[in-house]
A and B are shown apart, each in its own frame.
Chain A
Amino acid sequence: MSAVAIISIFTLAVFVGFEVVSKVSSTLHTPLMSGANAIHGVILVGAIIVADHSTTNLELGLAVGAIVLATINMVGGFVVTDRMLEMFKGKK
């Protein structure tokens, strides 16, 4: 990918990120933080990619560690956010 393409994606994503949360009420700060936290768990994808091309035991060991940590972040993050939001449901 060209550097310009990457910078474009990055810049546009910054503005989208600013825009989508700019008007959130303080009621939802905790679930939003938790949800955003779960999203960066997709580093799991990166961890799987490096585990695939690991050639030494050191590399593989570190990559496996990264997969475990990233999975905790992603799966745990979405589950706990859902639990919080479940309680907001059913209110008038």
Chain B
Amino acid sequence: MSRTIYDLIGLFAGVCFILALKGLSHPKTARRGNKIGALGATIATLVVFFYANEGSSLPLNNLGWILGAIAVGALVGVPAARKVQMTQMPQLVALFNGVGGGAAALVAIVEYLHLGDTATTAEVVFTVFTVIVGCVSFSGSIITFMKLQELMTTRPVVFLGGRFVIAGTLVAVLGVAVWVVTALGTTPLLVLAGLSLLFGVLFVLPVGGADVPIVISLLNAFTGLTVAASGYVLDSVLLIIAGTLVGASGTILTRLMAEAMGRSLFGTLFGAFTAKPQDTSGIAEDRPVRSGSPDDVAILLNYARRVVIVPGFGLAVAQAQHTVRELADLMISKGIDVAYGIHPVAGRMPGHMNVLLAEANVPYDQLLEMDEVNPTFGQTDVAIVIGANDVVNPAAQNTPGCPIYGMPILEVSNAANVIFLKRSMRPGFAGIENELLYDPKTMLLFGDAKASLTKVVGALKAL
């Protein structure tokens, strides 16, 4: 195959990726878009087997190793993607992103070893960039995975002098990078990789749990840029196009997400260093709350005219999507006006809750976005908050300095009654106390969301 045909096929795959991203931006075309992207990736991968690089012969060297490695990767990736529960989606995306970054860093290291003294300065600079950013993306994604999987604390990890350690590591990374470019050795490159991995860990540790999705999106954009840089070193138009597309769209997506959460990107990454310690002295653990029984809740609902359901991650954890739909259907059959108020970041990731409710076949027209539902809380008799906390926490509006301050919230406190279905008094993912729980118009129903909802449905049916 000639180089020209190879590059043209690469361009075709690049166009597939553009159409994929465009398709993914609209609900109707999203699935087709993803398939077009998969087609482009498949074609791009197949073509390499017929043309590797200038001067190399066919079939490819090490063909057995290459095919075997692809088989292993597919055997790991496909079952993971098929079996993952929708609630664990953010972790999986973080992991997939991390391994992509790791792959880019490894490719850069191999190419560096291969080129040896023949590498041009530009090639070395791009290699260094890929190793740094790929390693940061890899180790950073592992930390986000651990935070989301709750293998470690979801709160920001800040230690004494943390910002100086991070700044120092960054300076060391850049210093070693210059060393690699000037000295051209294997050792400096491996030191660089190690330091970059460390920097990735330090970079993500101070980020609070609620902001983790923004970081995943940012690391995703980073990985895209490393792929583009690899494209330069490996002389591949396709990698340059694909990597740049992901880098650019990932950057925009990161900004959109940050806006949806009312956060600046800078505040997300470094907020933990500048935030004042929270004043928790006024919050005693034994403050009185009003807790009710499933029957109390059913009575309240039975005499309501309008009910808004606010689902949160706790609903998904309890796998209560189907039960909540049953409750909604029952209320509708009693002539009650029912809507779901969906916070943009409900769940663990922007848009996550829409995925989870779609899984339970909740009709699309009952899902109201935050801007639509907020003005209606004044006419709402009951707001049922199921396993959500941070997205309805008034602290976001009235407590400057708290980690979620400035995040737009669902203003459930404007409803006549608020019911919280919670497992315990434990604060939400962001780790902040919610004043609304102590409000006189709030009733708490403790227990597993699914069990509680089932009891409420039973009680409501009996009325």
Contact = CB atoms under 8 A, between A and B. Distances in A.
B106 A47 contact: yes
B235 interface: yes
A52 to B, nearest CB: 4
Contact of A33 (B18, B30, B217, B237): B217
Q: How many interface residues does chain B have, given as a range?
A: 35 or more
B252 A22 contact: yes
A26 to B, nearest CB: 4
Contacts of B62: 51-52, 54, 60, 63
Interface string A71-92: 1111111111111111111011
A76 B94 CA distance: 12
Interface string A1-29: 10100100110011111101111111111
B84 interface: yes
A5 to B, nearest CB: 9
Interface stretch (B222-230, B325-333, B397-405, B430-438): B222-230
Contacts of B237: 1, 9
B364 A91 contact: yes
Contact of B236 (A38, A49, A70, A83): A49
A23 to B, nearest CB: 7
B86 interface: yes
A9 B241 contact: yes
Contacts of A17: 21, 244-252
A73 B78 CA distance: 10
Given A28-B351, A53-B52, A65-B106, A35 B243 contact: no
Interface stretch (B95-103, B164-172, B375-383, B446-454): B95-103
A34 B358 CA distance: 17
Contacts of A69: 73, 99-100, 102-103, 106
A59 B18 CA distance: 33
Contacts of A76: 76-78, 80-81, 92, 96
A41 B30 contact: no
Contacts of B82: 79, 83
Interface in A34-62: 34-56, 58-60, 62
Interface residues of A, number: 81
Given A6-B232, A24-B25, A75 B358 contact: no
B34 A37 contact: no
B69 A30 contact: no
A68 B208 CA distance: 31
Contacts, number: 379
Nearest to B349: A30
B74 A39 contact: no
Contacts of B257: 26, 29
A1 B25 contact: no
Chain B's interface: helix, strand, loop or mixed, by majority? helix
A59 B61 CA distance: 13
B242 interface: yes
Contacts of A85: 30-31, 34
Nearest to B33: A35
Nearest to A21: B249
Nearest to B70: A71
A49 B56 CA distance: 10
A18 B301 CA distance: 46
A68 B72 CA distance: 6
Interface string B16-37: 0110111011110011011101
Contact of A54 (B76, B99, B114): B114
Contacts of A20: 18, 21-22, 25, 245, 249
B110 interface: yes
A13 B244 contact: yes
B351 A87 contact: no
Contacts of B226: 43
Q: Which among B226, B232, B245 has the highest number of chain A CB atoms within 10 Å? A: B245
Contact of B107 (A38, A63, A72, A91): A63
A3 B45 CA distance: 25
Interface in B157-190: none
Interface of A: 1, 3, 6, 9-10, 13-18, 20-56, 58-60, 62-89, 91-92
24 contacts: A10-B228, A21-B24, A26-B257, A28-B30, A30-B90, A32-B249, A36-B24, A37-B246, A43-B230, A46-B231, A50-B234, A59-B114, A62-B113, A63-B62, A63-B106, A67-B69, A70-B107, A71-B74, A76-B78, A76-B81, A77-B100, A78-B34, A88-B27, A92-B363
Given A36-B250, A52-B62, 8 more contacts: A14-B247, A26-B369, A28-B25, A29-B344, A34-B93, A44-B45, A48-B66, A72-B99
